[in-house]
Structure 1
Amino acid sequence: MNRLTVATAALFATASLTATAHARPMTPEDVAKIESVGAIAISPDGTRIAYTTGSLPDVTEGEDNGGFKSQLSIATGPDIARQFLPEDVSPGDVSFSPDGRMLTFTWSKDDEDTAVWGVPVDGGTYMKLAAVKDSGVRDYRFSPDGRTIYMMVGPAKDEQREAQAKGGFTSKVYEEEFRPARMFAANIMMDGEIDEEPREIALPGYVSAFDIAPDGSFGIIETTPTPLVDDSYTSKRVNVIDLASGDVRAVVETPGKLGDVEISPDGSQLSLIAGVDMNDPAATTLHLVDTATGDFRAINAGEPLATVDAEWLSDGRLMTVVHRGVQSEVHVHNADGTLAEVIDPGELILTGVEAAGDHVAFTANAPQHPTELFVWNNGAFERWTEHNEWLSEITFGEQRAYTFTATDGQEVEGVLILPVGGVPEGGAPTIMNVHGGPEAHDSNGWQTAYSKPGHVAAGQGYAVFLPNYRGSTGYGTAFSKQHQGRYTDPEFRDIVDAKNALAADGITDPDRTGITGGSYGGYASAWGATYYSAEFAASVMFVGISDQISKFGTTDIPYEMYNVHSLAWPWDNWQKMLEVSPIYYTDRAETPLLIMHGEEDTRVDPSQSMELYRFIKVRKPDTPLRLVFFPGEGHGNRMASHRYDYNLRMMEWFDTYLKTGDRDAEMPPARPQLAEGAKGASAEEDDSED
């Protein structure tokens, strides 16, 4: 095995930022306008790389509220790119036609059903290539000769339901009225017309994803017994199907969760990222699969890492992106699975890989920039895009890995961001930013977002620590299973141990330590505001859990909770489940607590936030407490205004209670103070049009 260290990668990734004098701290208004690279695709000859740039409307400057939009560009070298579509076209599923002459994407024009579109790479207008009447295209693939587009589309129209709805009968039967996705094959006309009668291909079960073999003889589909979220975690299977007949040739019966699946160039193997068993919290282990039989074998099971993405190279080797703790690596495997090479990308946190011919491209972020496009060139990671050039104005706090020893001797790692200007004597006010899952992890890359205080907090004098507490991925399956059957301990005790270690090192002021996070991180924040109230001066809880009993009855993932978290049903021991619920400890709740939740959340029902709010409101009426609901939002905010609103509220809460250390301070106003350019910034605004 060869190990290649790319020392220049880190320098290249940050050179354009460090060359300019830093001038100011980061603000919530900056967070609202961040752009980042999304999907990437490489042309067959490797000369062009298509990528999407994702952003939200800048509501801080008066733009109309909305969700994420994407712009499509083609790059041919570092900082050499051109936007390829009008700004009102927001493309998805970007790809190249097999001959490389056309860039293709999915898009819904004027609220029509989503179709497959294409635009010539040498210039010209975009045109519709394929569609299915009354159904939106969810995914598509070309046949190797480029004459056929295979499309996965939505269910057929339910004529009975539509007829009844016209009469006012709009009732919904919970978890019963499932209708499967469908697959069609359309001929490519290439004369401005589309195939009006594409051929339907029968599919087994409920299909969520598919791919086509390089020779076009077979495809793979991912199926579940039902479209329930729980089934996608516990029962997803890869099927190898004959494209001509639709017959299933083999089924890959992996026992755990499924992640990325890729077909080898010769079609003999699949690479598959999956869990090693039903109780494995996450799909992080690399497997190889025989496409003739469906037999599979794990390649890196038990190693202290997480496989994130995989891509076959033209020579039959397999390249994978691996996260090891808070850093990332590239592993290159021979066709038999043996490890041939490890590439160290320096400070870059690689998140995805794509390959075509002899060309390889990556998406990656770093401590001082969000996701950008990088190309592997002459033994180095060459940066091809640079969004957010204004980041050169920002003064960043020092960011690095930090490891501490927990009470029971377990080594635990995380990402530490120090205050701009350094740590004052006596320690800095510190925010524990706890990730969700817990089957996830934080890397030492870009760590600032609407719900992640990151460099906004650092610019205001805070230290921020992102702990990869037990249950996190990136350290091997054994580490991610350490919390199972033991909600809150050791996983949340790790956070308190982190606080104590940071205080012992002079970094953290133990009397001014706060906690925040979403989902499972929201559970940690609720636990910190109740059971561990003495440890935390302020808490901001987002879409979090407060009652493990009622959570089981209102979530869309009950089996997921059992398999990889509790290892028990609530009725096995009602008292035990109650005692790992924050509502049980509201008699201790003296930590000022801001609770925020999307009203349409199906993962963690909004009632979880309501329960905790009501218990504390009645039981501890003197504790500063606020509950904020976001209309139309689910398990996380999508809309630009709600994200900006969240960021403002979070920082204002910490400024009021954490920075001052005063738990008795008056609560901030109910409405946040918006930037002057935002619509609604002034109550006296005239909304009439000129």
Structure 2
Amino acid sequence: MAIISLEPYLHVRTAKNPVYAPVGNKLSFIADYTGLPQVWELDRGEAWPAQLSFTKDSITLVKYVNGTSNLIIGMDVGGNEKQQLYLLKKDSTLIDLTNSPEHVHVYGGSSPDGKWIAWSSNRRNPSYLDIYIQNLETMEIRLVYSENGMFAAVKWSPDGKSLLIQKTNSALDNNLGLLDLSTGVLNWVTEHAGEASFKNAHFNKDGDHIYLLSNKDREFFGLALINLQTKHFVWLELGEWDFENLEMNKDKNKLAFTINEGGISKGVILDLKTSYLYTWKTPIGVISNLKFSPDNQKLAYVFNGPAYPPDIWELDLRTIQAERLTYVSRTPALNERLIEPELITFHSFDKLQIPAFYYQPKNPTKKQPVVLYIHGGPESQSRAVYNPILQYLLNIGYAVCTPNVRGSTGYGKTYTHLDDVRKRMDAVQDLVYLVEWLKVNRNIDFEKISIMGGSYGGFMVLASITHFPKYWSAAIDIVGISSIKTFLKTTSPWRKKQREAEYGTIEGDGEFFDRIDPLNHTDRITSPLLVLHGENDARVPIKEAEQMVNKLKERNHPVEFIRFGDEGHHFEKLKNKITAYTEIVQFLKRYIGN
């Protein structure tokens, strides 16, 4: 099969966030048909979706206002993550609701009568999120809960008199409580000892119970029911993998969720009347954004697999047959070219078993150069999804491996905490042992091993090339952390406390940071480095890239730096993706060939 250019891989469009209109046979979603994520509407009577929003910045959120055809959309400026909320009317009129561009706004849903919305914001203090409600007719904004902490509105109660709210203690620990909007009284309902998370909560019809996912007192997320009066907690379904994406239908008699089996999704429907569980077939990939239709006969979702870029699918709940609704990602030039991975495992220095996805180029004729691609987070997971740059590298003869080193989610609480604070470098050692495993078990070229990662994955790249320099022929750092110490000083105030729970604090762990921070060991780097970063990055400020690049330039080390003035922590605009990924490919060709 002849090699094709990078362009078709980058021009693959994606669809996400499907939401059914409360009335009519319509479904809205976010897609980047135009090169910029916008809101589109699919009417079953029409052959092609219609564009509803026409903004200069990316749409980050879309939700219908209950009982209306109006939409709430979210948007930030140039990826700065200071999301503002807008009311998008049927005629595409856009009304600014929050109008506070210096602050973050996290949407919390519309009231049952569609007159109010809830959101949280750091307006009072940059370090904390308080809860507000806003009237969509008068635009009145009310502060309904304020405390020094990270709070978010989860759901309105069925009677509209209360809000289910969440307090985030760390990325892996939270509480849910019921806030009475007339009295301001907050009643916590998820009391627990030790770390636990409670997510994807849904009220039953009477509003006296909630269904949710939790990992309270266990390694993995299961399905549970909580009585809001007695706080009695009951498990309904459990497994040996995490349950994800819980959704409930309008009639309150069906639940849908997914099971994350080592980075691959399985979809599940639970009939609450019969307790019957059933699933449906999908290719290798990840199911997300589950949404029941108002008539309770369909289930929309996003399917994203290595060979199936993100599109919206719909499951008929009567026949249990899935149909692809959108063809946003359809690219005939890539037919038969996209490659699915195999799941491998290897043992690290302490005999811990580490999982990874390994992608093999089609019809290899010689030893291949290999690219290790490291996920961010660190409390995240490499999943079996479409990635344009990885698929293109496979097309031109590179092997690709995406490991889930210790600290990744999806393998239980204990595994996720194995890289906390002073254990940080244990995860970096996992990468070394992966390379050694690949040398023995796969047909790779030992002299052409490169490493690439974004965000925390960028830190892993920089830590690898400073602490274990002999293994790497080239390295690519995308919006990465070069010093945990300087990162904690400059990241957004409302994110800092959550990050400290994972990384440690400057006061208590500063000396350890000094020992491991890549910025302090640039003299050890032997591989050429490519750095890419967005100037508007609120999570990992661009200073992290600049200080690393400057140090390497001082010693005339091969380093290339591309900065994007109109991007943040994620590269959203097509023109910037083309620039970034083209340079990644050229960089790898220059230094390790193919």
Q: Which bin holds the TM-score, normalised by the shorter protein?
A: 0.7 to 0.9
- Give the Cα separation in 2 of the matches to 1:587 and 1:156: 41
> 1:41 — aligned with what?
19
- Structure 2 letter corresponding to 1:415: F
- Give the Cα separation in 2 of the matches to 1:402 and 1:300: 26
Aligned with residue 241 of structure 1, among 179, 182, 190? 179
Q: Residues 416 and 344 (structure 1 numbering): CA distance in 2 closer, same or farther, change over 3 Å?
A: same
> 1:83 — aligned with what?
50
Aligned ranges 1:25-104 → 2 under 5 Å: 25=4, 27=6, 29-43=7-21, 48-55=25-32, 57-58=34-35, 68-76=36-44, 80-83=47-50, 85=52, 93-96=61-64, 102=69, 104=71
- Give the Cα separation in 2 of the matches to 1:444 and 1:561: 26
- Structure 2 letter corresponding to 1:345: T
Moved more, 199-208 or 30-39: 199-208
1:178-228 Cα distance to aligned partner (Å, 9 max, x none): 795531344xxxxxxxx337584733447533422334453323357xxxx
- Give the Cα separation in 1 of the matches to 2:40 and 2:265: 27
Are 2:291 and 1:350 aligned?
no
2:315–2:322 CA contact under 8 A, matched in 1: yes
Deviation at 1:409, TM superposition (A): 3.1
Deviation at 1:364, TM superposition (A): 1.0
Are 2:157 and 1:213 aligned?
yes
Aligned with residue 209 of structure 2, among 269, 280, 295? 269
- Structure 1 letter corresponding to 2:309: P
Percent sequence identity over aligned pairs: 18
- Give the Cα separation in 1 of the matches to 2:231 and 2:431: 42
- Structure 2 letter corresponding to 1:647: Y
> 2:87 — aligned with what?
116
Q: Residues 596 and 532 (structure 1 numbering): CA distance in 2 closer, same or farther, change over 3 Å?
A: same
1:331–1:339 CA contact under 8 A, matched in 2: no
2:377 alignment partner, SS class: coil
> 1:682 — aligned with what?
none
TM norm structure 1: 0.72
1:202 alignment partner, SS class: strand
- Name stretches of at least 5 consecutive residues in structure 1 with no aligned partner: 1-21, 59-67, 120-124, 159-173, 187-194, 225-230, 661-690
> 2:570 — aligned with what?
636
Moved more, 248-257 or 358-367: 248-257
2:130–2:143 CA contact under 8 A, matched in 1: no
- Structure 1 letter corresponding to 2:261: R
Q: Residues 250 and 473 (structure 1 numbering): CA distance in 2 closer, same or farther, change over 3 Å?
A: closer
> 1:433 — aligned with what?
373
Are 2:229 and 1:292 aligned?
yes
1:239 alignment partner, SS class: strand
Moved more, 202-211 or 350-359: 202-211
Q: Which has the larger radius of gyration?
A: 1
Deviation at 1:565, TM superposition (A): 4.2
Are 2:498 and 1:560 aligned?
yes
Q: Residues 23 and 236 (structure 1 numbering): CA distance in 2 closer, same or farther, change over 3 Å?
A: same
Are 2:348 and 1:398 aligned?
no
- Give the Cα separation in 2 of the matches to 1:131 and 1:633: 22
- Give the Cα separation in 2 of the matches to 1:276 and 1:335: 22
Q: Residues 497 and 80 (structure 1 numbering): CA distance in 2 closer, same or farther, change over 3 Å?
A: farther
1:445 alignment partner, SS class: coil
Deviation at 1:457, TM superposition (A): 1.0
Aligned ranges 1:407-556 → 2 under 5 Å: 407=348, 408-419=350-361, 421-425=362-366, 427-448=367-388, 453-556=389-492
Q: Over aligned residues, Cα RMSD in angstroms?
A: 3.9
1:474 alignment partner, SS class: coil
Aligned ranges 1:163-178 → 2 under 5 Å: 175=126
- Structure 2 letter corresponding to 1:182: Y
Deviation at 1:92, TM superposition (A): 6.7
Deviation at 1:517, TM superposition (A): 0.4
- Give the Cα separation in 1 of the matches to 2:9 and 2:534: 20
2:157–2:207 CA contact under 8 A, matched in 1: yes
- Structure 2 letter corresponding to 1:202: V
1:353-401 Cα distance to aligned partner (Å, 9 max, x none): 1114232221111222321111222123221111132244455253222
Deviation at 1:555, TM superposition (A): 3.5
- Structure 2 letter corresponding to 1:116: L
- Give the Cα separation in 1 of the matches to 2:534 and 2:417: 29
- Give the Cα separation in 2 of the matches to 1:487 and 1:515: 21
Q: Residues 389 and 464 (structure 1 numbering): CA distance in 2 closer, same or farther, change over 3 Å?
A: same
- Give the Cα separation in 2 of the matches to 1:86 and 1:541: 34
1:23–1:394 CA contact under 8 A, matched in 2: no
- Give the Cα separation in 1 of the matches to 2:593 and 2:436: 18
1:74-112 Cα distance to aligned partner (Å, 9 max, x none): 2439x955316375698775445655x73534489xxxx
Q: Residues 216 and 157 (structure 1 numbering): CA distance in 2 closer, same or farther, change over 3 Å?
A: closer
- Give the Cα separation in 1 of the matches to 2:499 and 2:279: 35
Are 2:259 and 1:322 aligned?
yes
1:135–1:154 CA contact under 8 A, matched in 2: no
2:480–2:540 CA contact under 8 A, matched in 1: yes
Count residues in correspondence: 570
- Give the Cα separation in 1 of the matches to 2:568 and 2:54: 27
- Give the Cα separation in 2 of the matches to 1:133 and 1:491: 41
- Give the Cα separation in 2 of the matches to 1:319 and 1:107: 26
> 2:133 — aligned with what?
183
1:249–1:292 CA contact under 8 A, matched in 2: no
1:482 alignment partner, SS class: helix
Aligned with residue 359 of structure 1, among 298, 310, 314? 298
- Give the Cα separation in 2 of the matches to 1:471 and 1:336: 39
- Name stretches of at least 5 consecutive residues in structure 2 with no aligned partner: 76-83
- Give the Cα separation in 1 of the matches to 2:549 and 2:110: 52
2:3–2:396 CA contact under 8 A, matched in 1: no
Deviation at 1:245, TM superposition (A): 4.8
- Structure 2 letter corresponding to 1:560: Q
Aligned with residue 650 of structure 1, among 578, 584, 594? 584
Aligned with residue 118 of structure 2, among 139, 152, 155? 152
Deviation at 1:418, TM superposition (A): 2.2
2:119–2:153 CA contact under 8 A, matched in 1: no
Deviation at 1:49, TM superposition (A): 4.6
- Structure 2 letter corresponding to 1:33: H
1:493 alignment partner, SS class: helix
1:647 alignment partner, SS class: helix
1:320–1:353 CA contact under 8 A, matched in 2: yes
- Give the Cα separation in 1 of the matches to 2:122 and 2:543: 34
